[in-house]
Chain A
Amino acid sequence: MRRIVTLLLLATVLMAPFTVNAKEAAADTASSDLNFKEIVLEHIGDSYWWHIVTTKSGKEIVVHLPVIVRSKSTGGHCFSSSHIMHGAEYQGFSIAVDGKHKGKIVEKQPDGTLVKPLDISITKTALGLMFNALVVIIIIMIPSLWYRRHTKLEDTPHGFAGIIEWLIVSILDGVIKPCVGPHYRKFAPFLLTLFFFIFISNILGLIPLFPAGANVTGNIAITFVLALAAFIAINIFGTKEHYKSIFWPDVPIFLKAPLPIMQIIEFMGMLTKPFALMVRLFANIMAGHSIILIITCIIFATVKSGAAVNTTMTGISLFLMVFMNILELLVAFIQAYVFTMLTSLFIGFAQGEEEGTKPKRTKKIITNNLKN
């Protein structure tokens, strides 16, 4: 495990300057002034192609991704994003330069207005997402298949299957069992999928090599779906007591009778729980990526200040980059862990038990986890 982490780390540190270097070169050819805000936003945002590297001669190595749009007036379209690069227009579609849909594909109507079509293009994040999904499936299926082959209980998994089993068991025993309560078995596959999807995506997001390195979990659409899944899992399996505590809570009657104050508060709470999950994961990962990129940009920002300053700043930047990457590895795990733990807790609350035991149990779980 340590060796793998070290390798990942090494790759991250070694590759980070190259990726940005490429972008810098690209920006250099376009305009002599570097726009660091654009560089950072380009990375953490989404795009219709996957820019890998720009060679010294200015030749760009780009993976063109399919654009899939459906327009109200002209129907469905599917074409390579190479047609619309550098502001080009193809079949009436182009990327909006500014306005409400900046950076998105818009269709030019006959009257000259730009309308956003239904857009399900496989963007950079979507491709990264699919790659991550594949990696997650492979990572879980390897030990799973191992278990199918070894039905004897005396066999214990070693190597990779052993690591994954250890991770699964530690999440199961440390988070899912204590947080969800007696009915944990029903939710275990979902919560484990959630954990591994977030964890693997976070880790892969730190590797700046195609096809990993897309900012997947730092994209709000991704965390939105994850939070939505958590919301569904929490509320679909909620018991009668759970809904009673929302729509007829155990409070003095004037707080709920003529004006449904408590009901509104409880209902808001129902929504804010997954909303907090969504924003927490998104903000953490996005901020991490931004900081690493900004620190990398220091090297290029100080080029004009002379060799001495540039060398010093490069050293500092490298040191900070290593530090941030290690920190991000930690954050990658912590965020996956926290997301899973909170979802488990909310599911546990919605499983309906006596009101009085809730705070006590939560406190116990939190202290237990802190101890661990």
Chain B
Amino acid sequence: MGLLTPDGGLVFWMAIAFGIVFLILAKFGFPAILKTVEKRAQVIDESLETAKKTEARLAHVTQESAEIIADAEKQKLQIIAEAQQQGEQLIAEAKRTANLEHERIVAQAMAEVEAKQKTMQEQTRSEVATISIAIAEKLLRQNLTDKVSQTELAQRLYKEMKQS
């Protein structure tokens, strides 16, 4: 039947038409489209990859910053504790030094007082001696007879000495 046998003329025209269509499209049509589409797909793939990487890096950075913050917090606490300790130490040291100084000053004062006392005593002693000697001198010079007048004299002399 005519319907089922390929007609030669039509095969000829079809071969030419299809050949021309194929040549034109394969040379000028599809490559331009395919090239751009593939390039675009590649760019999209690359962008996705970059986005993924950036995301990973961002997560990493967030983690890092959290770590840094935690570290800083720890350091802060440590520093505060250290400072406290140091302060306490300083206060204790100061107290100790103050105590020592105090003791030293007190000791020095005591020593001075003692020394002064000693010199005073010496002085008094020598003065008393001198006075006694003077009194004795005067008593001896006047040659007093009675005991009353002697005592009177002694008292007067003492008064005089006191006044002088």
Contacts and interface: CB of A to CB of B under 8 A. Distances in A.
Interface residues of B, number: 35
A239 interface: no
A189 B25 CA distance: 7
Nearest to A216: B14
B2 A45 contact: yes
A243 interface: no
Contacts of A35: none
Dominant SS among interface residues on chain B: helix
A220 interface: yes
Contacts of A225: 11, 14-15, 18
B20 to A, nearest CB: 7
Interface stretch (B27-35, B67-75, B143-151): B27-35
A126 B13 contact: yes
Contacts of A123: 7, 9-10
B36 A147 contact: yes
Nearest to A226: B18
B140 interface: no
Contacts of A136: 21, 25
Nearest to B5: A220
A133 B36 contact: no
Contacts of B9: 68, 119-121, 123, 126
Interface stretch (A77-85, A138-146, A310-318, A352-360): A138-146
24 contacts: A45-B3, A68-B9, A119-B8, A119-B9, A122-B13, A126-B9, A130-B17, A133-B17, A133-B21, A136-B21, A144-B28, A144-B32, A147-B35, A148-B32, A153-B40, A185-B34, A189-B29, A190-B22, A193-B26, A221-B11, A224-B6, A225-B18, A229-B18, A286-B3
Interface of B: 2-15, 17-18, 20-22, 24-26, 28-37, 39-40, 43
Interface of A: 41, 44-46, 68, 102-104, 118-123, 125-126, 129-130, 132-133, 136-137, 140-141, 143-144, 147-148, 153, 164-165, 168-169, 172, 185, 188-190, 192-193, 196-197, 219-222, 224-226, 228-229, 286
